[in-house]
Amino acid sequence: MFIAIVQIPMSKRSHDAAVEAARNSAPTYTALGAKGLLKKYYLNGDAGGGGVYLWESEQAARAWYTPDWERRVEAAFGTKPTVTFYDNHVVVDNEAGKVAVDGKDI
């Protein structure tokens, strides 16, 4: 798996405003399931907004974060986002009671 963390410098939103914005954009990310997006966690805090994205592969992630994507985000929020990419080899899932290495339970 592959992780992308998107950070958008902006003021922290109220709970209701953050939830409303997430609900409005959720269909975009639901549709990305067909292109390799496994999960998105919306971020809202003192450091800004953004998301943590879990992708099937690096290729799938990098196909989404294009210069055109960056221009759309900048136009929407009035500031440039930053994207940081990470390989993800090990996952501890306490809800499921599992640890996985490279997608396989150990």
Q: What are phi and psi of 9, to 5 degrees?
A: -65, 115
Burial of residue 11, with CB atoms counted within 10 A of its CB: 0-12 exposed, 13-18 middle, 19 or more buried: exposed
**How many Å is the maximal CA-CA distance in the chain?**
45
Handedness of CA 54, 47, 83, 43 (dihedral sign): positive
Per-residue pLDDT in tens (0 to 9) along the chain, 106 residues: 999 999 999 999 999 999 999 999 999 999 999 999 999 999 999 999 999 999 999 999 999 999 999 999 999 999 999 999 999 999 999 999 999 999 899 9
Count the Cβ atoms, other than its own, within 10 Å of residue 36: 19
Per the listing, tokens 């799938």 go with 60
Of the candidates 81, 79, 95, the one whose C-alpha atom is nearest the C-alpha of residue 39 is 95
| Full-model pTM | 0.91
**Rounded distance between C-alpha atoms, residue 106 and residue 14, angstroms:** 40
